Amino acid sequence: MNRIWRHAAVAALGLSLAACGRAGTDRATTVGFAQIGSESGWRAAETKLAISAAQARGITLKVADGQQRQENQIKAIRSFIAQGVGAIFLAPVVSTGWDDVLAEAKAAKIPVVLLDRQITTQDPSLFLTAVAADNVHEGQVAGEWLVGKVGAKPCRVVELQGTVGSTLVADRKKGFDQAIAKTPDIKIVRTQSGEFTRAKGKEVMEGFIKAENAAGICAVYAHNDDMMIGAIQAMKAAGLKPGTEILTVSIDGVPDIFKAMADGEANATVELAPDMAARGFDVLAAYQKDGKAPPKFVQTPSKLYLPDTAAAEYARRKDLY
């Protein structure tokens, strides 16, 4: 694969001097990854798996931690361009504001692969492809599970959203709203961002519990598992029983949510595949081999997991992440 990529990259990208980037980088085997940060267990897993997928393919992966800030990610992309990397992976923290820097990458003939989040742009030629889940679908899977569980009974739901300004937050909300719209008695009564972190998820849930006088909450929908773990801590501290008195459904599939499900403290999670980079490397290798542009969206699966397999999933995942 590496040899194929190395040789094919020279031809497909039309780089006569592809073996050496501007700063002495081996362009054909070097990829820069402008990562968001480490806000969640899922994010940490994505970075870890990206590093091992690169190693397995003989690729040098340069990871830049954006610490949740778009300006840091933009700086990292400019630095990758200056170093002459062969490709750039970008997990965009927010959806807009990428056009200028991606135009610079395009001018330098460096293909950009978006990982796990989409961007909003009028010019789709600024990126090669996006490897991501269908986030509307994820929200629908979560919402349909809740509808199936609650049936025709009234249910007041509180929602913990992720990072404001990212496409997937709007989409995860939209999908969930669409699913529960079929049953008018299931309603989202409170929505707030928990910024995809455990600490903020806990803090926001404490506020929901106070505002709703605890007994008013029937279910929690969290846009990621980390916020749900924080919410579970808040519910337990308030003397509530998550998983039985209050239903939970979240997204990601990190080990701790499987542990919580196995312990009867959570009900459902929709997995977001953490191996986005491996899929990105494969798309790049195919592109660089035959020069044929991949589809603009490479969709990863969104599988629902329930407590019946939670103990086994926890055992399988705890060292992988």
Interface positions with ligand AHR (CB under 6 A): 39-40, 42-43, 116-117, 168, 196, 224, 226, 251-252, 272
How many residues in the chain? Answer: 321
In the bound complex, what is the minimum distance in angstroms from residue 281's beta carbon to ligand AHR? 18
To the nearest whole angstrom, how small is the minimum distance from the Cβ of residue 102 to ligand AHR?
18
47-77 in b/e form (b: 16+ CB < 10 A) is bebbeebbeebebebbbbebebebebbbebb
| Contact present, 284 and 290 (Cβ < 8 Å) | no
Of residues 272 and 310, the one with the C-beta less far from ligand AHR? 272
Nearer to ligand AHR, 13 or 171 (CB): 171
- Minimum separation from the CB atom of position 22 to ligand AHR (A): 31
Q: Which amino acid is at 251?
A: I
d(CA 237, CA 261): 18
Exposed, middle or buried, 292 (CB in 10 Å: 0-12/13-18/19+)?
exposed
Distance of closest approach, residue 139 Cβ to ligand AHR, in angstroms: 11
Strand 304-305 relative to strand 297-300, pairing: unpaired
**6 versus 117: smaller Cβ distance to ligand AHR:** 117
Give me the residue label for tokens 């986005």: 276
Give me the least distance between CB of 127 and ligand AHR, in Å please: 16
Q: Which residues of 122-142 are buried (b: 16+ CB within 10 A; e: fewer)?
A: eeeebbbbbbbbbbbbbbbbb
- Are the C-beta atoms of residues 220 and 248 closer than 8 Å to each other? yes
In the complex with ligand AHR, which residue's Cβ is closer, 21 or 66?
Answer: 66
CB of 300 to ligand AHR, least distance (A): 11
Nearer to ligand AHR among residue 25 and residue 163 (C-beta): 163
* CA triple 58-110-62, angle to 5 deg: 45
Least Cβ distance, residue 1 to ligand AHR (angstroms): 26
**Backbone angle region of 106, left / alpha / beta, with phi > 0 → left and psi within -120 to 50 → alpha:** alpha
Structure tokens at 241: 């029983």
Name which of 42 and 145 has its Cβ closer to ligand AHR.
42
Q: Which is nearer to ligand AHR, 47 or 224 (CB)?
A: 224
Smallest separation, CB 163 to ligand AHR (Å): 7
| Separation of alpha carbons 1 and 293, rounded Å | 18
Residue type at position 298: V
Q: Pick the closer one to ligand AHR by CB: 25 or 129.
A: 129
